[in-house]
A and B are shown apart, each in its own frame.
Chain A
Amino acid sequence: MKKALLKFFERIEPDKKKSPFLHTLYDGFFTFALTPPHVTSGGVHIRDGMDLKRQMVHVVFALLLLYLFGMYNVGHQHFVALGQYPAFFSGFHLKLIFGIILMLPIFVVTHVVGLGIEFYYAYKKGHGIEEGFLVSGALIPLIMPPDIPLWILALSVAFAVWIGKEAFGGTGMNVLNIALLARVFVFFAYPTYISGDEAWVAGLEKVAAGASVDYGWIHLHFFNPIFESFGWATYNPAATVVDGFSGATPLSLAFHNGWEAVMHSYTPNQMLWGLIPGSVGETSKPLIIIGALFLILTNIADWRIMLSMVGGAVVMAMLFNGWQATEFMKVPWYYQFYMGSFWFAMAFMATDPVTAASTPAGKWIYGFLIGAIGMIIRVLNPAYPEGWMLAILFMNVFAPLIDHYVLQGNMSRRLKRAKAAA
């Protein structure tokens, strides 16, 4: 197989001088399929088997379950709004196909835009294609609302990769988390697509009782005949949104009317397992925690950041419990962790090694402050009932400062030691 692959790549190799861009692209795919036969020279003679590709791919592995669940849940929420197939596994093929039809274009657009820019810069600067976008590209679809218009998505990804990363020098040089930068771009430029009650349930003309569904050609004229031929249930273009459905997420309910209101619409179990509207990948807490444990066990993400972030959020939520000034503050602190995207932010966003603090002590501080500040934004900010994105971006900016003081501590310790010895 190795020989056949090598031969194949040999045959398709473009000329480096005539078409350098194509060659960069070729090189990217080639090194992906076959680890090059480079040997060490100077320095160490043997190297650890870990490289950046492997590191990044394992983060993607940790996200796979979330992709599966997220796609299905997008379909599930759609049918819940219509009052059809309320049980989780009923209408399985409809929900799954609905989710795939929505998610596939999001995934493709993210990668075409992001990787396109990445490839262009690799060619322009004459280095190999770096793997940073493997993870960013896998994260972005999971943190977008399912109904996001593709042109907005393309704009936001381009902004994040171009301004957020390449302008700073490429992979490993960015100050802000790329995936969150894409999301925050949508949040500030097109707020109606990513906040409020409308954004989180897909495939409806409008989130209001009696509104009709919004199926495309592919649902009605491609999949419906297939399903019919098997004798399965089909998409019903005449279905309408049921009475009393608001599409509101638990967070927005809690923000306005407290925990009681949340309990009217959702059970704690639903929120735990993720059968609620929200961004694609953020809803299922157990699956996220499985991913987080995988990252911790493989030493890919830093447990210090995760643990201290939980600590910061718990402390802040307890303080709010004591304060009790608004309905949201009265939500018991442990229920805060049933709602919103805390776990996803903790496992996959805060732990980004490039933008997080780099010293061990700095990581404790960094994580704790994200937890505390994120909870403050969630509970106190009337404009936006979720805080992790803003908190992480905020702390991204401060991470170098935290590191600076940790390093100063190390330096003054060394100086003191020298003085004591002298």
Chain B
Amino acid sequence: MLIASAAWAQGAHGSSGSGNILLYALISVAVLVFFYIVVQVSDSLLVIESRQNSSTANSNANFSLFPSWKEIFAPRLPDFLKNKPITILKRGHDILLEGEAARVVDKSVAANTYAVQPPNFVGISPIPKMMVEVGTEVKAGDPLFHDKTRPELMWVAPVSGEVVAINRGEKRAITSVAILADKEMKYRSLPSFKLEDSTREALVSFLLDAGAWPLICQRPFGVMADIGEAPRDIFISTFDTAPLAPDLNFVVEGKEEAFQKGLDVLNKLTAGKVHLGLDGRGKQEPHKAFTEARGVELHYFHGKHPIGNVGVQIHHIQPIAAGDKVWSLGVQEVIALGRLFTEGRYNAERVVAVAGAELKEPKYVNTYLGAKMGNLVEGNLANGHVRLISGDVLSGEAKTAEDFLNYHDDQVTVVREGDEFTVFGWLLPSLNTPSISKTFPSAFMPKMKFRAETNTHGEKRAFVVTGSYEKVLPMDIHPQELFKSILIGDFEKMEGLGIYELLEEDVALCEFVCVSKQPIQHILRQGLDMMREQS
């Protein structure tokens, strides 16, 4: 209005023709603004009124006369998503790599050695109390060791066989307990357990005894779940969007019953809800085991990686506040949990995607928890100069052939080592370089697949560029400021900026895109450790 009246004054001075045009333009803008305000105010009143009178509990319903921005710009969704609760996220980035696992489960690949690795678990004492020694014969499900401070917290053998090695690392911390597997698997049989008419306490001690407790991951910090405390909610993501990740729809095939049983168990463990994050990206409906799961709340998600990460899903369902504790499990962990009840034994079977462009045939293999890496890729490598990764290329861990698959991983990725010089690497528009930057031609070929390699493409620098982390982190979080607050050890800011809502896998893409090549996941873990020590 100020502008309009100022222009009025100008008009009154009787200036030139252009002044008149300006005047009319401003007046018409002012009139439009006036009408807009009138309509907007009355529409808002309408919305408030109808909210108060509405009987439905759906808080997302749009009562306004106008479609919301979200409705206008929503992508066209396939039919199965009509009237389903869906969260659509714009930010993120899918890294498409060559070497996706073919949808066959190879049962012939068998590892001879399996291991449980204490360093896979955050928040336990580094030297757990051993319950077996080298040479002990164990059945699958027999306890191997327990936590020093919480003796009821036990880890059990994934397979039957002979304990062949207890490997130690720095300060005599135990790095792995390896078992040479029997040809014919022998299981410790568990007492039958009636889920319906038992208390939570009884269930918890049953799970502890069965060695199923380590399947559960607790946020914040990604630690072992507290035994005495029920979580606020439990979250399960039923799709994995990381590069070359296994298709969980394929993995769950034939294990529907165990999966549902696992969900029932989880429902008993929390006073809150069990939330299932479902894939709303594709044209096809996710597997029936997920869409028709009972006793859980379903949430569909549409977007790019890291949308399949449970951390991002929690943020959009109900974020973790200070003091909250929530649990999360992977699909195969839920299945293992269910099998305790459907099969009456601890069955650590796991379908693992062995993927990567350096393999002769990328495929799924049926194996057990903690399989030896070398065994999984034996005879399948097309190239010798490679890196074996337990997990995906963003948040997995590099392993040698003698190492073992990590406890929570269901993927092995093989990528080429990129230890070569590149002439004028900062200048060339090289084609085989995944990037979110539009200075590479690949930015204009969104369907293009890359042959991954491990070169850093540059050296570490101070934080310079802003805004690139935000592009790949679809959460209401300021990542760069959070990382800086970790570096200076500002606890108040770390907590305020939402460090509790993140784990390494959630910021892995930030590290991937980082122009300054900073070790973001490492920085975040530092911050999480600092916060954990404080609390």
Contacts and interface: CB of A to CB of B under 8 A. Distances in A.
B343 interface: no
Given A36-B459, A358-B481, A43 B415 contact: no
Nearest to B423: A2
Contacts, number: 242
A421 B323 CA distance: 11
B454 interface: yes
Interface in A50-91: 50-55, 57-58
A258 to B, nearest CB: 12
Interface string A211-227: 00000000000000000
A58 B461 CA distance: 17
A39 B520 CA distance: 16
Contacts of B455: 35, 37-40, 47
Given A132-B464, A321-B6, A46 B415 contact: yes
15 contacts: A1-B423, A36-B459, A39-B387, A42-B522, A45-B389, A48-B434, A128-B459, A300-B439, A323-B6, A332-B22, A353-B466, A358-B480, A407-B496, A410-B476, A414-B498
B3 A318 contact: yes
A52 to B, nearest CB: 5
Contact of A171 (B395, B426, B461, B478): B461
A47 B519 contact: no
A47 B481 contact: no
Nearest to B397: A42
A403 interface: yes
Given A33-B423, A43-B522, A324-B10, A49 B496 contact: no
A354 B13 contact: no
A53 to B, nearest CB: 4
B7 A322 contact: yes
Contacts of B323: 418, 422
Interface in B415-443: 415, 417-427, 430, 433-440
Nearest to A297: B438
A261 to B, nearest CB: 16
Contact of A353 (B393, B434, B467): B467
B68 interface: no
Interface in A143-196: 169-173
A39 B514 CA distance: 15
Contact of B319 (A50, A299, A414): A414
B512 A49 contact: no
B508 interface: yes
Contacts of B148: none
Contacts of B420: 37
A359 interface: yes
- Which of A48, A130, A170, A318 has the most chain B CB within a 10 Å cutoff? A48
Nearest to A406: B478
B423 A418 contact: no
A121 B461 CA distance: 15
A47 B457 CA distance: 7
B519 A42 contact: yes
- Which of B7, B422, B452, B520 has the most chain A CB within a 10 Å cutoff? B422
Contact of A44 (B394, B435, B464): B394
B521 to A, nearest CB: 5
A418 B458 contact: no
Contacts of B60: none
A358 B488 CA distance: 17
Contact of B466 (A302, A315, A324, A414): A302
Contacts of A421: 318, 321, 324
Nearest to B461: A52
Contacts of A108: none
A139 to B, nearest CB: 15
Contacts of A43: 508, 511, 519-522
Contact of B22 (A321, A406, A418, A422): A321
A359 B481 CA distance: 8
B508 to A, nearest CB: 6
A51 B457 contact: yes
A332 B462 contact: no
- The 5 A-B pairs of least Cβ separation, nearest first, read A322-B6, A51-B458, A35-B425, A418-B321, A172-B462
A268 to B, nearest CB: 13
Interface in A12-43: 31-43
Interface in B498-526: 498, 508, 511-517, 519-522
